[in-house]
């Protein structure tokens, strides 16, 4: 069994589910890193990583459910415009392959918003009990470990079985999901998924979903060739939020960048006219910077990114998509739910490059100010789940003011506010 497959074909599903439930309970109760029990707990590495991310997001492992954040008309609009909407026949074929009476097929966009699902009406109704419905958001930050959100986070197809899910209400389900990328740019478009109860768990489900994802990518490539005048996505996209090292997608490839290469690429993004080796050296290393060092690093970066970066001066040769710009644009439009859904944390938290520190602070401050300005308890709660907002005293106080007296969230928020107030007094 690989790290991506949850269960062997002949494995006892009931025993596996019980083992995982005990492992999940011990980990949640202990609050320790799952790696400390890797020798005596049957938890895969990919699930351990996801549990750690889910815990860091402040999710309730006992009662948490995926939030339903996208209105019905907005779901319809997004799906009509989404590249994966052309693949409905392939998606419905998934159900034919595995038995439509036992599974629900679904599609989430790159942010985890559920935009399409199909299956037997009775099973779809059951799925609503755990908010597996149109408009719900299944990113890890919103819903914890689950096949859709974790496939998006890991950029890899995988299964999640029973108590591998971070939140207990979903422990009665098993899911197989595969991400779909733009074949021209490598940009993440979304994820397709098959979900059923625990009796349906089988490695075959993951193989079927993975094959469907590749088929959809081939169909997208063929459609692009047939319509060469269609507006292309940026040839280069970079994700830097919530990371200390960026991830680039270019030419259908996913590239893990070093922190230094991420810094240089973002500086070029901020300077469309380009930067010389001397200017980059000053920006990145300060007065002690050497142009020769920059030339060496840029040679390596250009070898990775190919024709996306030019020289003399160093510059981007085409549009670059960036998650930082996406969040900033959504804040300006007032789409704070969308901005928060796309904000896993600050960009390059440990960088000391002045222009990037300024950029990071600008994004964080704008998002925080916009959320505080609404006084909306749901938005404030989402902000307080982020690494940047977790210890935000003003946001916690605003949330307490906005919550109704009978709201069950008041107890945990009161504890947070008391802790933060004590920290302020000590400081």
Report if residue 405 sits inside a domain: no
Clarify whether residues 244 and 218 are in a common domain. no
Report if residue 28 sits inside a domain: yes
Range of the structural domain that residue 34 is part of:
13-226
Report if residue 386 sits inside a domain: no
Report if residue 376 sits inside a domain: no
Clarify whether residues 303 and 266 are in a common domain. yes
Peptide bond into 313 cis (omega under 30): yes
Report if residue 112 sits inside a domain: yes
Judged by phi (left if over 0) then psi (alpha if -120 to 50, else beta), residue 419 lies in: alpha
Domain count across the chain: 2
Structure token pair of residue 277? 């080796």
CB within 8 Å of 7: residues ≥ 6 apart: 1, 13, 16, 159, 161, 174, 201, 202, 203
Report if residue 354 sits inside a domain: no
The pLDDT, as a whole number, for residue 227 is: 59
Report if residue 401 sits inside a domain: no
Is residue 196 classed as helix, strand or coil in its secondary structure?
strand
CB within 8 Å of 58: residues ≥ 6 apart: 384, 385, 390
CATH of the domain at 105: 3.30.450.40
The pLDDT, as a whole number, for residue 68 is: 92
Clarify whether residues 314 and 181 are in a common domain. no
Clarify whether residues 63 and 212 are in a common domain. yes
CATH of the domain at 307: 1.10.10.10
Q: What is the pLDDT of residues 167-217, one digit of tens each?
A: 999 999 999 999 998 887 777 899 999 999 888 888 888 888 999 999 999
Clarify whether residues 151 and 186 are in a common domain. yes
DSSP bridge partners of 119: 104
Clarify whether residues 158 and 45 are in a common domain. yes
The CA-atom distances, in angstroms, between 296 and each of 15, 241, 258, 261, 301 are 55, 26, 14, 11, 9
* pLDDT values of the chain reduced to their tens digit, one per residue, 427 residues: 578 988 888 888 888 889 999 999 988 887 555 444 444 557 999 999 999 889 888 888 988 899 998 888 889 988 988 999 888 888 887 777 666 567 899 999 988 999 999 988 888 999 999 999 999 999 998 999 999 999 998 889 999 999 999 999 999 999 999 999 888 777 789 999 999 988 888 888 888 899 999 999 988 888 766 655 554 555 688 999 998 899 888 766 778 899 999 999 999 999 988 999 999 999 999 988 899 999 999 999 988 888 788 888 999 988 888 999 999 999 999 989 888 988 989 999 999 999 999 999 999 999 999 999 999 998 998 999 899 998 999 998 998 888 888 888 888 888 888 888 888 877 6
**Where do the H-state alpha helices sit in 57-176?**
72-81, 88-98, 121-128, 140-143, 147-154
Question: With contact defined as beta carbons under 8 Å apart, do 333 and 342 qualify?
Answer: no
Q: What is the pTM of this model?
A: 0.61
Clarify whether residues 274 and 143 are in a common domain. no
Which of 257, 287, 321 terminates a domain? The answer is: 321
Q: How far apart are CA 363 and CA 325, in angstroms?
A: 9
Question: With contact defined as beta carbons under 8 Å apart, do 398 and 380 qualify?
Answer: yes
Report if residue 347 sits inside a domain: no
Q: How far apart are CA 200 and CA 215, in angstroms?
A: 23
The pLDDT, as a whole number, for residue 404 is: 84
DSSP bridge partners of 175: 160, 195
Q: How far apart are CA 187 and CA 52, in angstroms?
A: 25
Clarify whether residues 158 and 72 are in a common domain. yes
Which of 321, 346, 377 terminates a domain? The answer is: 321
- For β-strands 173-181 and 188-197, DSSP reports them as antiparallel
- The DSSP symbol for 12 reads -
Clarify whether residues 97 and 129 are in a common domain. yes
Which of 302, 321, 340 terminates a domain? The answer is: 321
Structure token pair of residue 37? 């029990």
Clarify whether residues 204 and 257 are in a common domain. no
Clarify whether residues 253 and 218 are in a common domain. no
Q: How far apart are CA 101 and CA 71, in angstroms?
A: 28
Closest by CA to 261, choosing from 245, 279, 240, 278, is 245
First to last CA, the chain: 51
3-state SS string for 141-182: HHHCCCHHHHHHHHCCCEEEEHHHCCCHHHCCEEEEEEEEEC
Clarify whether residues 147 and 282 are in a common domain. no
């Amino acid at each position: 069994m690989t790290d991506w497959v949850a269960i062997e074909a002949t494995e006892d599903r009931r025993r596996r589910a019980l083992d995982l439930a005990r492992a999940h309970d011990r980990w949640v109760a202990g609050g320790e890193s799952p790696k400390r029990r890797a020798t005596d707990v049957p938890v895969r590495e990919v699930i351990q990583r996801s549990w750690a991310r889910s815990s860091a997001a402040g999710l309730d492992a006992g009662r948490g459910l995926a939030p339903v954040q996208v209105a019905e008309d907005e779901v319809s609009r997004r799906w009509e415009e989404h590249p994966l909407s052309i693949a409905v026949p392939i998606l419905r074929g998934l159900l034919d392959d595995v038995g439509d009476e036992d599974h629900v097929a679904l599609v989430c966009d790159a942010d985890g918003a559920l935009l399409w699902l199909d299956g037997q009406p009775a099973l779809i109704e059951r799925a609503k009990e755990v908010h597996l419905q149109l408009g719900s958001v299944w990113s890890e930050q919103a819903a914890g470990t689950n096949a859709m959100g974790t496939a998006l986070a890991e950029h890899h197809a995988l299964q999640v079985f029973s108590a591998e899910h971070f939140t207990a209400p979903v422990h009665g389900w098993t899911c197989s999901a595969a991400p779909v990328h733009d074949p021209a740019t490598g940009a993440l478009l979304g994820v397709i998924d098959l979900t059923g109860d625990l009796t349906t768990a089988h490695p075959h489900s993951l193989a079927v979903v993975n094959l469907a994802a590749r088929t959809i990518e081939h169909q997208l490539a063929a459609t692009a060739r047939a319509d060469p005048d269609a507006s292309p996505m940026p040839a280069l996209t970079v994700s830097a939020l919530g990371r200390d090292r960026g991830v680039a997608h270019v030419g259908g490839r996913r590239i893990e960048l070093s922190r230094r290469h991420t810094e240089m690429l973002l500086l070029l993004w901020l300077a469309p006219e380009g930067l010389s080796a001397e200017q980059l050296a000053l920006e990145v290393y300060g007065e002690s910077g050497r142009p020769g060092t920059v030339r060496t690093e840029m040679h390596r970066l250009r070898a990775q990114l190919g024709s996306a970066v030019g020289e003399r001066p160093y510059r981007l040769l085409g549009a670059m998509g960036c998650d930082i710009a996406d969040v900033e644009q959504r804040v300006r439009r007032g789409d704070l739910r969308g901005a928060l859904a796309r904000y896993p944390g600050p960009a390059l938290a440990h960088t000391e490059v002045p222009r990037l520190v300024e950029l990071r602070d600008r994004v964080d401050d704008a998002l925080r100010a916009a959320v505080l300005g609404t006084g909306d308890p749901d938005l404030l709660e989402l902000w307080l789940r982020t690494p940047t907002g977790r210890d935000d005293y003003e946001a916690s106080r605003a949330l307490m003011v906005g919550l109704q007296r009978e709201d069950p969230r008041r107890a945990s928020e009161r504890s947070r506010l008391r802790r933060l107030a004590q920290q302020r007094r000590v400081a």
